[in-house]
Amino acid sequence: MSTGRFAGKVVLVTGAGSGIGRATAVAFAKEGADLVLCDVNEATLDEAAAAVRAQGRSVLTRKVDVSSAAAMQSFADEVHASFPAVDVLVNNAGVAVTGGLRDTTLEDWNWVMGINVMGVVHGCHFFVPRMIERGRGGHVVNIASAAGLAGSRLLVAYSTTKFAVVGFSESLRADLRRHRIGVTAICPGFIRTNINEAGRRRGRWAEPAAVERSRRLMERGASPELVAEKILNAVERDQGLVPVTKEAHLIYALKRSSPALLAAVWRRLEAWQAPEL
């Protein structure tokens, strides 16, 4: 018999092949949950599945593009053939576009909106109704970002998508409260993941010096395991919005208390990233 805070629960994590997704899957497995995982990268997804099985938990995996409604519908059908509903849904899959408005193409916008916004919507659309029908409550975790708390010219498109995730999560939390389904927006700061390498950089932000500065900044970030720990705690405590890391807490505080100071902090960071701009 499994033991732990989430023993007997089924947890679904999108973008589970690496970074925050994989760390979250393993953390839930350590606490007794069985996992449903998806990612677009089958090799890393297999590695994540192996890490879950190493904790003695079962895992169902599928290669899925969360931006595709058809793919998510098919995935949901497979999952619900095995489980009446998931207990915890973690919409983690995400990508980044770095650059200003003039440098960001419409194709970039479609790509980042499709994954970061519609991927979250698709996850909720195809999995939450079954949670409601089952009538046993549950929890939805949407991975946003500190960039979803304060905008920056460094991340025009990315910040837009993460603001959307925060707003969607707040609205969804109010909508699902009567069904005893909690909703949390997780807002990490700098985390040691491959989001920079997997993302797109435009304009001067794509120049080697700017890329190197960004790499060094991310290397000094917190671990994905810290985010995973915050996610489990948020589900257990039913928290609505959770900044993760010191810089995320600082951004959240300054946004409410001193927007002008926050803008100055952002300008310093942007200037360090690309001094010539």
Q: What is the pLDDT of residues 251-264, one digit of tens each?
A: 888 877 887 877 77
pLDDT digits (tens, 9 = 90+) for 85-106: 999 999 999 999 999 999 999 9
pLDDT class of 270 with cuts at 50, 70, 90: low
Higher pLDDT, 87 or 273: 87
| Coil, strand or helix at 62 | strand
Give the pLDDT band of residue 199 (cuts 50, 70, 90).
confident
At residue 35, does pLDDT exceed 50? yes
Give catalytic residue positions.
158
pLDDT band with cut points at 50, 70 and 90 for residue 274: low
Tell me what the pLDDT averaged over the chain comes to: 92
Q: Which residues of 263-275 are buried (b: 16+ CB within 10 A; e: fewer)?
A: eebbeeebeebbe
Instruction: Report the alpha-carbon distance of residue 276 to residue 100 in Å, rounded.
Output: 14
Q: Which of 24, 3, 16 is nearest to 63 (CA)?
A: 16
At residue 152 the predicted structure's pLDDT band, cuts being 50, 70 and 90, is: confident
What is the set of domains in the chain, with CATH numbers?
A: 10-273 (3.40.50.720)
Please report where in the chains the tokens 């993941």 appear, as a residue. Answer: 193
91 in Cβ contact with 12 (< 8 Å): no
What are the DSSP E strand ranges found in the chain?
10-14, 34-39, 59-63, 88-91, 97-98, 138-143, 181-187, 200-201, 241-243
Q: Tell me the per-residue pLDDT of 120-138, one tens digit each, with 9 for 90 and over.
A: 999 999 999 999 999 999 9
pLDDT exceeds cutoff 50 at 163: yes
Q: What is the reported pLDDT for 277?
A: 46
